[in-house]
């Protein structure tokens, strides 16, 4: 299959694009991470989300440590081609490294960020104690 | 009201953060744009989405030309503080400058991007003929 579709993505000067993972079932926005060309190509090929970890400078196969893999159901690109949207099935119902369903668990309420989601699984249990 | 909550945002080296606008009703991801500190402060103060236009290097009060303003119902911040999520009511049901409900109207299908959403209103009608 041709990979020409990758050329329609407007990669930034570092060769990256932000990718939003959204729960394919309930529509919850789970997380945002970055992808390079290889990450997006592999994501589509295997229908499993792969990101580029800017902090570790390497491919990050989501769930490789936690087991919380994301099965990709649909891939969208925005009008100017510089953001990708994935609709995913989130294994374990946990996308966030804090053990919560979504990374967007802080909500602004009267000038303060309040936590709106419970920890579903202790990160020490997910990743092992340091 | 204290503005200390703005200090919890991890602004990038250009002083910006990406912001996702999600339809508060049906959960559709509408668009992603950038905010600087002033844009986010004004967004919260007026409960109306304001972005920083990187192409025009100025504040962009969403809907200032199109009338397609976004009334902000909730504001979330992700775990590492570098992405904002807005839940909005989208005036006119059109977020995209192409006249579509969402900017994410291209879907990858068998190696091609296909258009999945109709144009609800002709951009010439929204913005006036050039």
**pLDDT tens per residue across span A74-106:** 999 999 999 999 999 999 999 999 999 999 999
Nearest to B29 among A22, A104, A106 (CB): A22
**Neighbouring C-beta atoms of residue B26, cutoff 10 Å:** 10
Bigger pLDDT: A26 vs B2: A26
* Cβ contact A85–B104 (<8 Å): yes
Quote the CA–CA distance of A104 and A90 in Å, as a whole number: 15
Low-confidence ranges of chain B (pLDDT < 70): 1, 130
Q: B110 contacts in A (CB within 8 Å)? A: 1
Q: For an interface test with B, which of A20, A84, A117 has the most B Cβ atoms less than 10 Å from its Cβ?
A: A20
Å between A24 CA and nearest CA of chain B: 11
Neighbour-count burial of B14, counting CB atoms closer than 10 A to its CB (0-12 exposed, 13-18 middle, 19+ buried): exposed
pTM (2 decimals)?
0.96
Q: Report the complex ipTM.
A: 0.96
Bigger pLDDT: A7 vs A127: A7
Query: For the stretch A32-71, what's the b/e string if a residue is b when 16 or more beta carbons lie within 10 angstroms of its beta carbon?
Result: bbbbbbebbeebbeeebbbbbeeeeeeebbbbeebebbbb
Q: Does B77 touch chain A (CB under 8 A)?
A: yes
């Amino acid at each position: 299959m041709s990979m020409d579709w990758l050329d329609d993505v407007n990669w930034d000067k570092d060769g990256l694009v932000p990718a939003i993972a959204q729960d394919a079932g309930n529509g919850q926005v789970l997380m945002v991470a970055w992808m390079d060309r290889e990450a997006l190509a592999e994501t589509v090929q295997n229908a499993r989300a792969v990101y580029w970890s800017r902090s570790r400078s390497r491919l990050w196969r989501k769930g490789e440590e936690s087991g919380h893999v994301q099965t990709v159901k649909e891939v969208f690109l925005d009008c100017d081609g510089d953001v990708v949207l994935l609709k995913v099935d989130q294994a374990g119902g946990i996308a966030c490294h804090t053990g919560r369903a979504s990374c967007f668990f802080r909500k602004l309420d009267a000038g303060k960020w309040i936590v709106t989601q419970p920890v579903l699984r202790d990160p020490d249990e997910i990743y092992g104690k340091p």
